[in-house]
Amino acid sequence: MVANLASMKLVIGLGNPGADDEMKLVVGLGNPGVEYERTRHNVGFRVVDKLAARHGWKWNERRGRAILASGNLGLEKVVLAKPLTYMNLSGEAVGELVRWYKLQPEDVLVVYDELDLPVGKIRLRSGGSAAGHNGMQNIIRHLHTNTFPRLRIGIGHPTNSHIQGKDHVLSTPPLDERILLEQSEDRAVEAIELAITQGIATTMNLVNADPEEAKRKEEERQRKLKERQERERLKREKQRDKSQSTSGEDAE
C-alpha cells in the first residue's frame, strides 16, 4: 500500500524557510533523555528519528525549545521537530516553531502515542480533540485550534488493572509489544511521506483502512462477480436453446 514509497528519491536542502516558502512541519512527541528513549510515550520521537535516518537528514539545528532535521520531500520542504520541553509542555515548542515559520495549522503534523488504539495500529486524522493526551492538549492550547493533522500510534491500555496510565506510557514495553511498535513506527514513516506528497485525505483512506474489512469487501465483490457471470452464462444458454428450437421448427 504505502510501502512503495521506499523507492522515492529525495533532494536534501537545509535552511530556514521564509514566509513565502511551502513547507510542512512534522512534530514527534516524546520526552528528552536517554531514560525515556524506549518508552511507549516516546514513539513520536522514534518515528521522526526513523524518517530522518531514512533520508539522511541530520538533527543539526535547534530552534527555540526543539531540535530539528530538515530536507525536501518531492517539491515540499519538510522540517522534523522534537520538542525539548518534556511531553506536557510540547505546545510551547510547537507554538514557537509555527510562529517562526509562519505556518498554517494544516501544515503541521503531530505524531504521538495513543492509549485507546491497540498496540501496532496507526490512525491519521485531520483534526480532533486531544482525547486526554497531555502533550496534545498543550499543543491545542498554544495553537488555539485543534484543526491540525495528527498521526496516532497505538500503545494500548495496560493489561494489568493495577498499573496506572502514567506508569504504562513511561515504561518500556516487553519484546512482543516492541516488535509490534517497531512495525507500526515503520508504517508511520511511510504514512508521513504519503501525507506530505499526496495529501492528508488520500493518506487517511489508505492508512485508516481495516485490512480485514478490506479483505471481506473484496471477497464479497468476487462473489457478486461470479454470480453475475453465472447469470449471464445461463442467459446465453437459454437464448441458444431457443434459437435452436426455432431453427428446428422452420426446417419442418
Q: Name residue, grid cell 495500529.
A: 121
Q: Which of 41, 133, 142, 168 is catalytic?
A: 41
Chain centroid, CA 211 distance in Å: 15
Question: Does the annotation mark 157 as catalytic?
Answer: no
Bridge pairing between strands 23-28 and 108-114: parallel
* Best CA proximity match to 100, nearest among 187, 21, 166: 21
CA distance 222 to 216: 10
CA distances in angstroms from 195 to 74, 101, 107, 163, 210, listed in the order given:
12, 20, 11, 35, 18
* Spatial distance between the Cα atoms of 84 and 89, rounded to a whole number of angstroms: 9
Task: Please choose, from the candidates 64, 175, 51, 80, the residue with its C-alpha nearest in 3D space to the C-alpha of residue 119.
Answer: 175
Helix 175-198 vs helix 43-55: angle between axes, to the nearest 10 degrees? 60
Candidates 99, 86, 97, 72; CA nearest to 42 is 86
Backbone φ and ψ of 123, nearest 5°: -140, 135
Q: Which residues are catalytic?
A: 41
